[in-house]
Amino acid sequence: MYNLDKQRNLTLLTDFYELTMANGYFNNGIGDRIAYFDMFYRKNPDKGGFAIMAGVEQVVEYLKNLKFDDEDIEYLRSKKMFSEDFIKYLRDFEFKCDVWAVPEGTPIFPGEPIVTVRGPVIQAQFVETMILLSINHQTLIATKTNRIVRAAGERAVMEFGSRRAQSYDGAIYGARAAYIGGAIGTACTCADRDFGIPALGTMAHSWIQMFPSEQEAFDAYARQYPTNCTLLVDTYNTLKSGVPHAISTFDRILKPQGLRPSGIRIDSGDITYLSKKARKMLDEAGYPDCKICASNSLDEYIIRDMLLQGAKVDLFGVGERLITSSSEPVFGGVYKLAAIENPDGTVTPKIKISENVEKITNPCRKNLWRLYDRETGKALGDVLTLFDEKIDDSKPYEIFDPNATWKRKTITNFYARELRVQYFKDGKLCVKMPGLEHIREYCKQQLETLWDEVTRFENPHEYYVDLSQKLWDIKHDLLKSLSY
């Protein structure tokens, strides 16, 4: 696991109110009170049926290295609003929380506690911002990428968005998330160095313009990279100039060496029309194996329409609309208090009530289960239970809609799996972190457990996320007791 932030102290990458609350907790004598916070989100991006969990590795790296250095301490002292005893607490700070999270690459759904932090309220509250920004960003990009990958079908998708990302972190971590979501590689060289994501790319239009003619530019590139020759054919005129000159280069430079071209790239114009014509020209010239790559402001809908119209494209380079998830650029994960632990070890559930029903939180210390059909292996639904509840999959189990409790179903012949993994115990990392290739393959496998109705783009089936009867009863009682 590469620590990209080893040269940066990100401790104070937090909302300022985390510090003002921490100072208040400390001076009111409740800073060590054990609290449970859940991260969850309320709706899927792009009106989709699910999201893909990503960013856990960066959360782990942040928590492993969480400390206040001298510069942090002096800055906080300069604000003249924090007590010296609190500042001393921060100087001696040692992370002591337990952390559970859904592993990266897992399909996730609204309302689920995808991260839970248990620990002294000062600490559990303080880490909110970094947990949210790490998970929100990468989950958003992994989800968007997977939509694009599914639209492309068997054709490969490359992440080409570095220059349009929101900052260098957006480019690097976005490339990581895109790889989890199914992209085969990235144009971001840094992501290859740091995460081992294959770096891909050929030439820009400036390469063509730097030479006296397009033909000379193609010839020079083929001589330089004869075993990986992909030529950009749309600088001047794709069909009258670019493709004919590419074929000439293949004939004169590659063929005498017994080599085959890798491909051509089209970056402008009516790519569907141009790809059909280019495919015919390449085939007639004896290059049916020469791939056609398309780029230029693509997304899942444009790719789907191109393929429906018969575009002869073998792979797609997708940039700005992937790396920024431009159609819905915010993943709305939130971080809410769910319970506090009493000195005698009992747990008091906490709930946030809102006139917007979707903003009412699920209280208590919880666990998250996924139920699978034993015959098909498909996911039937998820269930939130109390932490000490177990789902006995040897017996029939009743699930129900927590918002419409009369909608109930008894399922049989299923198996139940706890979705979350404990990453930290008493502030110490307690699990071996998986490699990026493993996460990517795991994501692919888990997506195959979803029904097609859940993965379709338009009006996807709403996946069941239910509460156990015990959890629902506690929530219902809290709602009754706190309603005014």
Q: What is residue 340's predicted lDDT score, i.e. its pLDDT?
A: 98
Q: What is residue 356's predicted lDDT score, i.e. its pLDDT?
A: 86
Q: What is residue 5's predicted lDDT score, i.e. its pLDDT?
A: 56
Q: What is residue 104's predicted lDDT score, i.e. its pLDDT?
A: 98
Q: What is residue 420's predicted lDDT score, i.e. its pLDDT?
A: 98
Dmax (CA) for the chain in angstroms is 85
pTM: 0.96
Q: Does pLDDT of 4 surpass 80?
A: no
Q: What is residue 424's predicted lDDT score, i.e. its pLDDT?
A: 98
Residue 15: which H helix or E strand, with range?
none
Summary mean pLDDT of the chain: 96
Provide the residue ranges of all domains of the chain, joining segments of one domain with +: 16-141+329-363+423-439, 202-317
In this structure, of 4-18, 213-227, 231-245, 260-274, the range with the lowest mean pLDDT score is: 4-18
Question: Partners of 382 in the beta sheet?
Answer: 370, 465
Q: Do domains 16-141+329-363+423-439 and 202-317 have the same CATH topology?
A: no
Domain covering 202-317, topology:
TIM Barrel (3.20.20)
Q: Does pLDDT of 484 surpass 80?
A: no
Q: What is residue 403's predicted lDDT score, i.e. its pLDDT?
A: 86
Rounded mean pLDDT, 397-426: 95
Q: What is residue 357's predicted lDDT score, i.e. its pLDDT?
A: 85
* DSSP annotation of 317: E
CA distances from 414 to 94, 382, 401 (A): 43, 12, 19
Rounded mean pLDDT, 129-149: 98
CATH architecture of 16-141+329-363+423-439: Alpha-Beta Barrel (3.20)
Residue 348: which H helix or E strand, with range?
strand 347-349
**Rounded (10°) angle between helices 84-91 and 16-27:** 110
Rounded mean pLDDT, 85-108: 97
pLDDT band at residue 482 using 50, 70 and 90 as cut-offs: confident
Of all residues in the chain, the percent with pLDDT exceeding 70 is 98
Q: Does pLDDT of 1 surpass 60?
A: no
Rounded mean pLDDT, 436-440: 98
* DSSP annotation of 366: E
Q: What is residue 358's predicted lDDT score, i.e. its pLDDT?
A: 85
Q: Does pLDDT of 143 surpass 70?
A: yes
Q: Does pLDDT of 185 surpass 90?
A: yes
pLDDT band at residue 8 using 50, 70 and 90 as cut-offs: confident
Q: Encoding tokens for residue 289? A: 């194996």
